[in-house]
Structure 1
Amino acid sequence: MTWTKNSWKNYPIKQQPTYSDEKELNEVLTRLEKLPPLVFAGEVRNLKAKLEKVALKEAFLLQGGDCAESFANFGAVNIRDMFKLLLQMAIVLTFAGGCPIVKIARLAGQFAKPRSADFEELDGVKLPSYRGDIINGFNFSKEAREPDPKRMIEAYYQSATTLNLLRAFAKGGLADLHEVHRWNLGFLKKAELGSKYDELSEKITQALEFMQACGITAANSPSLRETSVYTSHEALLLPYEEALTRVDSLSGEIYDCSAHMLWIGERTRGLDEAHIHFLSGVKNPLGVKIGPSAKADDIKAIAQALNPKNEAGRLNIIIRMGADKIASNLPHIFKELSKEGLNIVYSIDPMHGNTTKAGNFKTREFDKIMQEVKMFFEISMSEGIYPGGVHLEMTGQDVTECTGGASNVTAESLQNRYETQCDPRLNADQALELAFLIADLVKKARKA
């Protein structure tokens, strides 16, 4: 079938809301179609060029951010702290890992979430599941859980504001390497971790002073004071994605201008379904989550559907199997894929396969997260695959959602600051600790 931006409607689709007022839905989508793009084709092409370097083993991908963005918790402080955390992690990976880092945030569009059940029940009351603020409300009430198309407009404007602030931070001085000491979020609890970051910061400062003595300064070298942070989200709500799809006036190519990169989740990656079909027609870099049930043939078929020209930087396969399953499932997949000559970025999502329950809370154990990361690197290198990135759910706030790690969150202390509206996130302590551990693995992988 010839691809058009609405031809996905001819395919089976999963994880979509049912709107009660179709007229209102169409009015909202018509309005969205007339609004400016959130990102620009040139930015998307720049990201693809950087991801090409990852595919060629010359860089490493750091992708991370909120599980699901919130209308209620939206604010400049949260965006700033997420930006600073990405910078901290990237500088650790760059300096200790010895390679350029491509930074992609789960921000400015990560509003829709797939759910394991269409309904949830509380005290005998059954209501539609919460599917993210772009679709319905978090509160457990009939009114809140009714899908409301007007939420797409609010998601658009929050995304636009977030992007505006990210661009300002990236180019306006906050990313200056001379400010590396000030990127500390101020609540690192583990003295050893803070000392480790301070030591690295001091080495960077000394290197900058040497460069300045040689005439290389922030004034004449923009790369010392500016950076690029790209945006990404799961392209789940296809009416919204369709409305923000545009034809680039310079190239004539089609881009989904809701984000620089889009990904497809494990639940919606069916080859003959709507999500694969829709994203096959846009030029953005794409990701696909791969769970423990996948086979090598599944990944080869996905690559043929989404990257038939085998372009480097186009496709990111995001492994999410869980620490208990990755060792038995991934080696034979990578063994077969290593023979195919596919230009694919392989990254690890160690969060989704390691979700467990502690009392009434969903949580993730830091040790399990780190275990899956280590095994991903070991398996990749043993099978001739470059471990090209990491994909994390994290926040710059001092939350207590994942147990263990530098901040020593316990099952009993989860209730102290459990703020996520969906899945548990690493706090800044845990994310930075993970970055130091990953940096050593990246260095080994690049040497190999």
Structure 2
Amino acid sequence: MELKPPVGSAVHRAPSSWRPDSWRGHRAEQQPDWPDLQALERVENTIALQPPLVLPDEILGLRRSLADVAAGEGFLLQAGDCAERFSSCTEDGVRSKLRVILQVAILLTYGSGMPVVKVGRISGQFAKPRSRPTEVVDAVELPAYRGDIVNSPEFTAEARRADPERLLRAYQHSSASLNVLRALSRGGFADLDQAHAWNQEFVRRSDAGRQYEKAADDITWALRFMSACGVDTGSQSALHQIELFTSHEALLPHYEQALTRYDEKRDAWFDTSAHMVWIGDRTRQLDGAHVELLSGITNPIGIKVGPSTTPAQLRALCERLDPERAPGRLVMISRLGAGKAAELLPPLLRAVKSTGHHVVWACDPMHGNTFVSESGYKTRRLSDITAEVAEFFAVHKEEGVHPGGIHLELTGDDVTECLGGGMDEILDTHLGTRYETACDPRLNAGQSIELAFRVAELLREHHSAR
């Protein structure tokens, strides 16, 4: 008897000319200068023999959830580190990231009344594209830091050398952090009864933290009310554990190919490095290696949509990556910058809508709002981030399109990387106090909670006006 995929799984059929290695016949942007290609091949072969990090059933589960979001019946929260460090793949490191993701997710759910699909930039977000291939310090020029999967941030020739062995270390660290993530997600840490415990002391003292505490009180009373009405809340698994999916930018095709596996039951290919992968604004060339590689896998695919994206390019990418027009296949992640969405976003929304593709539109309010402050730190203003999100919602309301999600770079740590934020406002003079990011500035837990309340409010307003 033939085994068929479950109804609604929307298994993606690779183009007839596609193979996992067909990307090698295309130009790959943003690649390191690997000094030893034989060593790179050996590492690829080693990774190809390792177990998958995620399974096809999990990937298809995310596809179904994203199909609901595309239909206006949910909201996507994609959040996590800018660039993960190997050193953060510990129980404490994973717990800290999961804690703030849970806080933001529960506020979005509680404030909007919508189910929230939770996707972390976690367990694999080790690679970063760079504006320039090299960096100059004190007249010394060295290769840019491209993430722990490639090299180290220390400014020495040895540290900045691209090392293929780091691909294998990335796999190992992803596996380790995934084990911790799954244990925490299903072992009580994500229990709604723990909503108060998620609020760290340094956040609890802030305006956003106190507002969060009130929301947690309301949730606790709601659970007690349900129990008093005879609902067996202890048997409701959704109240005690969560499903957190993983994602990262598919920047290094050697690594992604090594973890791309064929599933005989479904006659389809899956990239088992993460549940969802995305193409960056610098690597979305229609004839490029990254689009070629991702055109054949079944995973949900994110596409970063920057200011240079044209409606014609977006239509062509939709057709290339989602010829079957399957709901949940594509996530358009706009990163336009505050003050630009009102002009740039409408023609892009209309272009995709005209093709009949059922995509999720998400807002990345981080990458279009980065600048260097007077003190010399790369930073972002929380006010700009909030403004872009508000513009995103306003444009979607005007165009009659569901605002499907938000894409954030954040951390549960008490860092000082982004400006602004309530009574504990971070000023330019504060940035150097706890500036810990390996690449781009992240929202700290308090700023993330403050933004979550605003997004929930926008969601509620959007749906009450329908």
TM normalised by structure 2 equals: 0.94
2:12 corresponds to which residue? none
1:383 corresponds to which residue? 399
2:459 corresponds to which residue? 442
Q: What are the within-5 Å matches in structure 2 for residues 156-235 of structure 1?
A: 156-188=171-203, 191-235=206-250
Is the 1:234–1:262 contact (alpha carbons within 8 Å) kept by the matching residues of 2?
yes
2:384 corresponds to which residue? 368
Q: Does the residue aligned with 2:123 lie in a helix, a strand or coil?
A: coil
- How many angstroms does 1:336 deviate by? 4.0
- How many angstroms does 1:177 deviate by? 1.0
Are residues 1:288 and 2:303 paired? Answer: yes
Q: Distance in 2 between matches of 1:128 and 1:377?
A: 39
Q: Distance in 2 between matches of 1:409 and 1:378?
A: 28
- How many angstroms does 1:26 deviate by? 1.2
Which string of whole-angstrom CA distances, capped at 9 and with x for unpartnered residues, describes residues 150-200 of structure 1?
A: 001111111001111111111100111111111112211654322211111
Q: Does the residue aligned with 2:135 lie in a helix, a strand or coil?
A: strand
- How many angstroms does 1:204 deviate by? 1.0
- How many angstroms does 1:403 deviate by? 0.3
Decide which of 303, 316, 322 is 1:301's aligned counterpart: 316
Q: What are the within-5 Å matches in structure 2 for residues 48-59 of structure 1?
A: 48-59=63-74
Is the 2:76–2:405 contact (alpha carbons within 8 Å) kept by the matching residues of 1?
yes
- How many angstroms does 1:334 deviate by? 2.3
Q: Distance in 1 between matches of 2:17 and 2:351?
A: 32
Q: Distance in 1 between matches of 2:219 and 2:234?
A: 17
Is the 2:315–2:351 contact (alpha carbons within 8 Å) kept by the matching residues of 1?
no
Q: Distance in 1 between matches of 2:189 and 2:88?
A: 22
2:427 corresponds to which residue? 410
Q: Does the residue aligned with 1:45 lie in a helix, a strand or coil?
A: helix
Q: Does the residue aligned with 1:391 lie in a helix, a strand or coil?
A: strand
- How many angstroms does 1:216 deviate by? 2.5
Are residues 1:105 and 2:113 paired? Answer: no
Q: What are the within-5 Å matches in structure 2 for residues 33-72 of structure 1?
A: 33-72=48-87
Decide which of 22, 25, 28 is 1:7's aligned counterpart: 22
Q: Does the residue aligned with 1:247 lie in a helix, a strand or coil?
A: strand
Decide which of 246, 262, 265 is 1:247's aligned counterpart: 262
Decide which of 98, 122, 138 is 2:153's aligned counterpart: 138
Are residues 1:25 and 2:40 paired? Answer: yes
Which string of whole-angstrom CA distances, capped at 9 and with x for unpartnered residues, describes residues 23-70 of structure 1?
A: 211111111000000000000011111001100000000001000001
Gaps of 5+ in 1: none
2:369 corresponds to which residue? 354
- Bigger shift: residues 200-209 or 386-395: 200-209
1:83 corresponds to which residue? 98
Q: Does the residue aligned with 1:182 lie in a helix, a strand or coil?
A: coil
Is the 2:83–2:147 contact (alpha carbons within 8 Å) kept by the matching residues of 1?
yes
1:343 corresponds to which residue? 358
2:449 corresponds to which residue? 432
Aligned residues: 448
Q: Does the residue aligned with 2:235 lie in a helix, a strand or coil?
A: coil
- Bigger shift: residues 296-305 or 94-103: 296-305
Is the 2:44–2:255 contact (alpha carbons within 8 Å) kept by the matching residues of 1?
yes
Is the 2:223–2:233 contact (alpha carbons within 8 Å) kept by the matching residues of 1?
no
Q: Distance in 2 between matches of 1:242 and 1:191?
A: 45
Is the 1:69–1:133 contact (alpha carbons within 8 Å) kept by the matching residues of 2?
yes
Q: Does the residue aligned with 2:203 lie in a helix, a strand or coil?
A: coil
- Bigger shift: residues 29-38 or 400-409: 400-409
1:420 corresponds to which residue? 437
Is the 2:75–2:114 contact (alpha carbons within 8 Å) kept by the matching residues of 1?
yes
Q: Distance in 2 between matches of 1:26 and 1:336?
A: 41
Q: Does the residue aligned with 2:68 lie in a helix, a strand or coil?
A: helix
Q: Distance in 1 between matches of 2:292 and 2:298?
A: 13
Gaps of 5+ in 2: 1-15
Letter in 2 for 1:365: R
Letter in 1 for 2:463: R
Letter in 1 for 2:131: S
Q: Does the residue aligned with 2:234 lie in a helix, a strand or coil?
A: coil
Q: Distance in 2 between matches of 1:268 and 1:62?
A: 23
Decide which of 381, 398, 401 is 2:417's aligned counterpart: 401
- Bigger shift: residues 60-69 or 332-341: 332-341
- How many angstroms does 1:446 deviate by? 2.2
Is the 2:136–2:142 contact (alpha carbons within 8 Å) kept by the matching residues of 1?
yes
Q: Distance in 2 between matches of 1:246 and 1:283?
A: 10
Letter in 2 for 1:374: A
Is the 1:394–1:428 contact (alpha carbons within 8 Å) kept by the matching residues of 2?
yes
Distance 1:10 1:336, change over 3 A: closer
Which string of whole-angstrom CA distances, capped at 9 and with x for unpartnered residues, describes residues 268-307 of structure 1?
A: 0000111001001000001000101112221111110111
Q: Percent identity?
A: 45
Is the 1:320–1:349 contact (alpha carbons within 8 Å) kept by the matching residues of 2?
yes
Decide which of 293, 309, 313 is 2:328's aligned counterpart: 313
- Bigger shift: residues 185-194 or 145-154: 185-194
Is the 1:338–1:384 contact (alpha carbons within 8 Å) kept by the matching residues of 2?
no
CA RMSD, 1 decimal: 1.3
